Amino acid sequence: MDYKEQLIAFFKDVDARCILGLSIDCVIFGFYDNQLKVLLLRWKQSDEWGLPGGFIYKKESVDVAAQRILEERTGIKELFLQQFHTFGEEVRYNRAEISRKLNWPDNSTRLWPDRTVSIGYFALVDFMKVTPTADFLTDEYRWLDVEKLPPLLFDHNHIIEVALKTLRVQLSWQPVGYNLLPEKFTMPELQRLYETILNRPLDPRNFSKKMRALGIIERLEEQRKGGAFKSPYLFRFDKEKYKKALQEGHLSFS
C-alpha cells in the first residue's frame, strides 16, 4: 500500500472502531536549552506541523485512549497525562483545507464528521528521557520552542496556549519543575523555567529566597563545572516534601 491507500484504510478503520466527532490532542512539554518546548509532529509528505492526537475506541475510557494514542503516535509510554480542557468551538477545521495542506487525496476527509470536539491532555517530561518515534502518518517529531511556534494545523496553537495557561496557574500552587528538569539543576536553570512559563522576568534574589522558603529543594555539595563564570551550586527536589506540597496546595490552613 502506498501512503494514500494507507490513509484511506486508516480513516475507514477509525470510522468503524472509534467514537465519531470526538478526538484527543496531547501537549507534551519539555525544558531544554533554557527553553520551554512542546513536542510537535510534521505530517507525512507535508510542511505542516501539529500535535500528536487521535480517536477514542467505542469501548474505551477517554483517559485510557489518551495514553494509547500518545504511545501509538510517539512511542512514549506510561506518561502522566493530565486532562486540562475540552475544545468545542463550532468550527475547528475545514476539511478541504486540511486535505489540500496535507496533500491528501480529495476524498480522504469524506468520512470525517462535520465537526470534532477535542479533549486536551498535557504532560511535563524530562526532555532527556523521552525519544519520540514517528508513526506512519508522521515524517518527524521535533521539540519546538513555545515562544516561536509556526502556525499549526487545526486550532493547535490555541490548544497549546490554553495548556500553557493551565501550567501557569498550576505553577502558583504546585512545584511543576520536578517533571521538567533533570534530577540536578542550578538555581538559574530553575528560575529560567519559571520565567518561561510565567512569560516575565523575575528578580534572582527574591526567586532564590522564595524557592528555598518553600522547602521543596535542597542544595547539594556539588557544583556545576566548566562554565565561564563562578561554578553554581546544584540543587534537587526533595521528593517527600514535594509530594506533601502537592497534596496540601500552597496555601496551608493548618
Judged by CB under 8 A, which stretch of 47-55, 62-70, 143-151, 218-226 contacts a copy of itself?
62-70
Q: Among 14, 137, 144, 171, which residue sits at the site for a copy of itself (rule: CB under 8 A)?
A: 171
Place of cell 518561561: 196
Judged by CB under 8 A, which stretch of 7-15, 138-146, 165-173, 219-227 contacts a copy of itself?
165-173
C-alpha cell at 245: 506540597
Give CA–CA dist 220/216, Å, rounded: 13
104 binds a copy of itself (CB under 8 A): no
* DSSP-derived secondary structure letter, 102: T
20 binds a copy of itself (CB under 8 A): yes
Give CA–CA dist 147/135, Å, rounded: 26
Judged by CB under 8 A, which stretch of 17-25, 39-47, 130-138, 180-188 contacts a copy of itself?
17-25
DSSP 164-226: HHHHHHHHTTS-THHHHS-SSEEHHHHHHHHHHHHTS---HHHHHHHHHHTT-EEEEEEE--S
CA 241 to chain centre: 25
Contact letters for a copy of itself, residues 219-248 (x by CB under 8 A): ------------------------------
Positions that interact with a copy of itself (CB under 8 A): 19-22, 56, 58-63, 65, 83, 85-86, 88-90, 114-115, 117, 119, 168-169, 171-173, 194, 198, 202-203, 206-207, 210, 249-251, 253-254
